[in-house]
């Protein structure tokens, strides 16, 4: 299980840097929302839920609902 956590942390570090550099659709608001969702998911997968602020979790959930209903 610890190996999975190490891999998730490495992926989180690389994905957070890559997602901030690659524009997908040239709409800054959607890019920020996507980055927020990716960061929250990667923090949960890496086991750092204690460091994740509750407001960011709620905001990410709202962004996911927005993208699903869009």
Q: What are the φ and ψ backbone dihedral angles of 53, each rounded to 5 degrees?
A: -70, 145
Summarize pLDDT for 35-52 with one digit per residue, the tens.
888 888 888 888 888 888
User: How far is it, in rounded angstroms, from Cα 8 to Cα 46?
Assistant: 5
Question: Where do the DSSP E strands lie in the chain?
Answer: none
| pLDDT beyond 60 at 19 | no
- pLDDT of the residue at 28: 75
The pLDDT-based confidence of 1 (bands split at 50, 70, 90) is low
User: How far is it, in rounded angstroms, from Cα 12 to Cα 62?
Assistant: 21
Positive or negative: CA dihedral 21, 26, 27, 30: negative
């Amino acid at each position: 299980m610890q190996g999975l956590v190490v891999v998730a942390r490495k992926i989180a570090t690389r994905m957070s840097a890559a997602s901030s550099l690659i524009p997908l659709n040239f709409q800054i608001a959607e890019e920020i929302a996507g980055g927020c969702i990716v960061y929250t998911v990667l923090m949960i997968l890496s086991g750092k839920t204690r460091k994740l602020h509750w407001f960011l979790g709620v905001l990410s959930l709202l962004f996911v609902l927005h993208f699903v209903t869009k």
